[in-house]
């Protein structure tokens, strides 16, 4: 386990720029999650780090050594692919043993057996070792794939949306599992995903990728509470942050450049307008959505829509006039960049 640094990485595919000047240092034992939608360059960045693709510019350093020109095998990294994570023609045991049997490592079989059994215990798949890899459920397969990436204690484990093919319940279970395993092993991880929950719960630091650029890097809390721009603010939080025009809040003290006001659902204060005069605009309740675990209230203010959370037994009903109060608003300029209050 060691420190990994990506410096000024660039990668183009023809006219598309997949990675644009990304620099990032992942400390020993750190769990860095990069968050971005499909096409943001997540897979490309991991492939550059692994040495499967060569950057057009920039360097990859592992423990201070420049490995940019080294082949994947020489980098001491592991990779969990988004798909095709296990060798279908091998048993679970042989899949886990595969990296240990490589000509670079040549681990004695007795040692392999010990390591594989340890990992199987850690992953809770000890009873599945003799199964063919294809005879596992999706969740077990990903569990083995994650195990395989960690067995040989790499300098860094690279994981490309390893949970994205699983259903919601399994994804939640494995997420917790992965965090436990990472902490138990003290593993260094660079993990990419489009799932904000994974980013928030797994990461020691989150990076937000947008069209090949790393737009912000920080602890999950920093990213959530203090997003660098409206894009980052919109990536985190569910339902997403409300972005409202400055002109709806003429009385609000805001920096001069402010064009848009961002307010998270939990920071919207909604009260019946008839309950007394209050600062802020008045809107109309357009819809109340009961999702079971959450209840969303949709309020229209002039032509703009906001969503907030309400109690399941809220007295509010569709058509009611409500006043809108803001707590901890965020200010963005016309280009979406954050303006500090």
Partner 1 sequence: MSANAHSVVEPSAGAKLAASVLVILYACVALIPLLWIGLTSIKSPPDSIAYPPKVVPFVHFTPTAEGFCNLFTTRSRQTPDYIAGLPPSTGGCDEVARSRNMVVVGASNYVPRFVNSLIIAFGSTALSIVLGTAAAYAFSRFRVPLKDDLMFFILSTRMMPPIAVAIPVFLMYRELGLSDTRLGMILLYTSVNVSLAVWLLKGFIDEIPREYEEAAMIDGYTRLQAFWKVVLPQATTGIVATAIFCLIFAWNEYAFAVLLTSGAAQTAPPFIPIIIGEGGQDWPAVAAGTALFLLPILVFTVLLRKHLLRGITFGAVRK
Ligand X SMILES: Nc1ncnc2c1ncn2[C@@H]1O[C@H](COP(=O)(O)OP(=O)(O)O)[C@@H](O)[C@H]1O
Q: For partner 1, give the closer residue by CB, 44 or 242.
A: 44
Residues comprising the chain, all counted: 341
Report whether 298 contacts 305 (CB < 8 A).
Answer: yes
Site string for partner 1, 121-160 (x = CB under 8 A): -------------------------------x--------
**Separation CA 341–CA 338 (nearest Å):** 9
Q: For ligand X, give the closer residue by CB, 84 or 291.
A: 84
Taking CB within 5 to 8 Å according to partner kind, which of partner 1, Mg ion, ligand X, none is near residue 271?
none
Taking the complex as a whole, the smallest distance from the CB of residue 162 to ligand X amounts, in Å, to: 13
Question: In the set 43, 182, 193, 242, which binds Mg ion (CB under 5 A)?
Answer: 43
* Ordered DSSP codes for 114-144: HHHHHHHHHHT-GGGTTSBGGGS-HHHHHHH
Q: For Mg ion, give the closer residue by CB, 165 or 284.
A: 165
DSSP annotation of 246: G
Q: For ligand X, give the closer residue by CB, 94 or 161.
A: 161
Closest C-alpha to 165, from 142, 196, 132, 198: 142
Report whether 244 contacts 306 (CB < 8 A).
Answer: yes
Beta bridge partners of 242: 263
**Separation CA 179–CA 163 (nearest Å):** 13
**SS3 category, 199:** helix
Question: In the set 99, 139, 147, 329, which binds partner 1 (CB under 8 A)?
Answer: 99
Question: In the set 27, 29, 72, 234, which binds partner 1 (CB under 8 A)?
Answer: 72
Q: Which residue, judged by CB position, is nearest to Mg ion in the bound state?
A: 43
Query: What residues make contact with partner 1 under the rule CB under 8 A?
Result: 50-52, 71-73, 75, 77-79, 81, 83-85, 87-89, 98-99, 102-105, 152
């Amino acid at each position: 386990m060691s420190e990994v640094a990506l410096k000024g990485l660039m990668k183009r595919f023809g006219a598309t720029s997949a990675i644009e000047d990304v620099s990032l240092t992942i400390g020993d034992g750190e769990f860095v999650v990069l968050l971005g939608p499909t096409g943001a360059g997540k897979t490309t960045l991991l492939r550059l780090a692994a040495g499967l693709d060569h950057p057009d510019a920039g360097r990859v350093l592992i423990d201070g050594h420049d490995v940019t020109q080294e082949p994947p095998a020489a980098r001491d990294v592991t990779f969990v692919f988004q798909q095709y994570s296990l060798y279908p023609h091998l048993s679970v045991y042989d899949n886990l043993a595969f990296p240990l049997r490589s000509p670079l490592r040549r681990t004695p079989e007795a040692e392999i057996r010990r390591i594989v059994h340890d990992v199987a215990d850690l992953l809770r798949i000890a009873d599945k070792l003799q199964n063919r890899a294809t005879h596992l459920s999706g969740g077990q397969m990903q569990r083995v794939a994650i195990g395989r990436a960690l067995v040989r204690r790499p300098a860094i484990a690279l994981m490309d949306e390893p949970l994205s093919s699983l259903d919601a319940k399994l994804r939640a279970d494995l997420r917790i599992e992965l965090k436990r395993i990472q902490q138990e092993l003290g593993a260094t991880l660079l993990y990419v995903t489009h799932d904000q929950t994974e980013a928030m719960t797994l990461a020691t630091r989150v990076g937000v990728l947008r069209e090949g650029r790393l737009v912000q890097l920080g602890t999950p809390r920093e990213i959530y509470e203090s997003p660098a721009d409206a894009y980052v603010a919109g990536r985190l939080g569910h339902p997403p942050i409300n972005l409202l025009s400055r002109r709806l809040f003429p009385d609000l003290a805001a920096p001069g450049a402010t064009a848009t006001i961002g307010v998270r659902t939990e920071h919207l204060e909604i009260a019946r307008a008839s309950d007394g005069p209050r600062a802020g605009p008045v809107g109309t309740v357009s819809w109340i959505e009961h999702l079971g675990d959450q209840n969303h209230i949709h309020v229209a203010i002039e032509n703009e829509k906001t969503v907030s959370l309400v109690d399941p037994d809220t007295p509010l009903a569709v058509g009611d006039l409500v006043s809108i109060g803001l707590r901890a608003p965020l200010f963005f300029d016309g280009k979406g960049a954050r303006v500090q209050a």
